[in-house]
Amino acid sequence: MKLKENMRTFVTHLEGAIDGATLNAQELQTMSSERPLWTRYDLDSVRKSLTKESLTKRECTMWRYRELLPPSGDDEIVTLGEGMTPIYNCPRLADHFGLKNVSIKDDSQLPTGSFKSRGMAMALTMAKKFGVKRVAVPTCGNAGGAAAAYAARAGIEAYIFMPDDTPKINQYECNLFGAKLFLVNGLISDCGKIVRDGKEPMGWFDLSTLKEPYRLEGKKTMGLELAEQMNWTLPDVIIYPTGGGTGLIGMWKAFHELIELGWIDPDRLPRMVSAQSTGCCPIVRAFEAHEKFAKPFEDANTMASGIRVPVAVGDFMILDAIYSSNGTAVAAEEDRFPAWMRLVARLEGVGMCPEATAGIGALEQLSKSGWIKPDERVLLFNTGAAQKYPHIEPRDPARVNKDKPIDWGFIESQSV
Ligand SMILES: *Cc1c(COP(=O)(O)O)cnc(C)c1O
């Protein structure tokens, strides 16, 4: 698929997030001073060529924001139709926490069942544009499945490294999509080192979170979408489960680009809340200590595998989004994740992944403490499908023998 013939890109350059260095966007870049890059655009020109009204006629995918995305019109897009996920109003969930206005943006509906597809669609599109033949990615789970699917779609070879206790279903999808999968006796940081060390001998391009600039631009579309879906009036609070942090950083970037376009009110930005697990909460600790960077989290352990990230290269970018939005960071109690999954599923019919239920823990703590006021508008993200986590509290259903008379009392007595 092409975006639009001959549409130029509005990207001007890439910028080092830590050192402000200017890098050429016409070449494939990775990092600057070992830290992530921002993709910068000529927003004055975007303002002249794009209107809110013209957007409404475009296709319902994240590519509708093409002027604010890296590829040019001539580049071939690697896509599975990702983006424009629904936002549900959740009155029973709101009521449960004494609030009036809680909604969920449901990214579990994206290809491979998690929001990782936004970033991978963008990263593989750009990798393909720059002629990359082979990519590698360290993953806690969902990034692997998404990388494998989009690499297949792009005709690019993928090598994936994940901790050996990563859920089977994430291993399965990597195999299914034809990636070369390796289990590592360690954490994602150990997998990251293997990918780094393999760059020279294997000649692959490193797709690690924030070690190339474009996954972030894909994640940014969450912020663009929710702004458009909420008619360019943002919620008061956005709660986001944080691992590597691209979601939070990407949305914050999106809002600033929309301010530059004059499309949203700069005085009504949401307070950004980072939700983590008590089993792995480096960002929460750094926030509580008012630090610019986060210290590595020792012995990280959580069933919410996607946020088991003890070290994030973009830690200072996550913290900056929290500080400058007057947000906060909350650690949700690890052993309550399954109960929160059931709560959201039963109250609202939304199958929420354990990562996102860290946001339910944050909602509980922040509504109790009064940090979130009853009538404030709160938006939570469901970053992945609950169906990818059948290993969390697996349960055998009761059985019925078709060849015997049915015992209706037994049927009725089953607990849920
Ligand atoms: C990766 C992942 C996260 C964390 O996202 P980041 O942008 O890396 O912070 C949250 N939820 C799920 C389901 C994930 O797979």
For 68-90, write each residue's pLDDT tens digit. 999 998 899 999 999 999 999 99
Flag residues of the chain having pLDDT under 70. Answer: 5-6
The reply to whether 304 falls in a domain is yes
End-to-end CA distance of the chain: 46
The reply to whether 64 falls in a domain is no
Contact 106, 88 (CB under 8 A): yes
Centroid of ligand 1 to alpha carbon of 243 (angstroms) = 5
**Ligand 1, atom nearest to 355 Cα:** 11
The reply to whether 337 falls in a domain is yes
Of 115, 240, 280, 380, best ligand 1 pocket probe by most atoms within 8 Å of the beta carbon: 115
The reply to whether 412 falls in a domain is no
pLDDT number for residue 2: 75
The reply to whether 204 falls in a domain is no
The residues that bridge with 91 in the sheet, in sequence order, are none
The reply to whether 248 falls in a domain is yes
Look at the alpha carbons of 170, 175, 176, 179 in this order and tell me if their dihedral is positive or negative.
positive
Asked if residue 114 has its Cβ within 6 Å of ligand 1, the reply is yes
Read off the CATH number of the domain in which 229 is found: 3.40.50.1100
pLDDT number for residue 6: 66
Of 107, 303, 317, 355, best ligand 1 pocket probe by most atoms within 8 Å of the beta carbon: 355
**Ligand 1, atom nearest to 388 Cα:** 13
The Cα 333–Cα 276 span in angstroms is: 9
Residue of 211, 216, 179 whose CA lies nearest to 36: 211
Residue of 112, 82, 85, 103 whose CA lies nearest to 344: 103
Region for residue 98 given its phi and psi (left: phi exceeds 0; alpha: psi -120 to 50; beta: otherwise): left
pLDDT number for residue 89: 98
For residue 377, the enclosing domain spans 87-113+215-388
pLDDT number for residue 5: 62
For the chain, what is the domain count? Answer: 1
Look at the alpha carbons of 359, 363, 364, 366 in this order and tell me if their dihedral is positive or negative.
positive
pTM of the prediction? Answer: 0.96
3-class DSSP state of 332: strand
What φ, ψ does residue 401 adopt, rounded to 5°? Answer: -95, 115
The reply to whether 306 falls in a domain is yes
The reply to whether 98 falls in a domain is yes
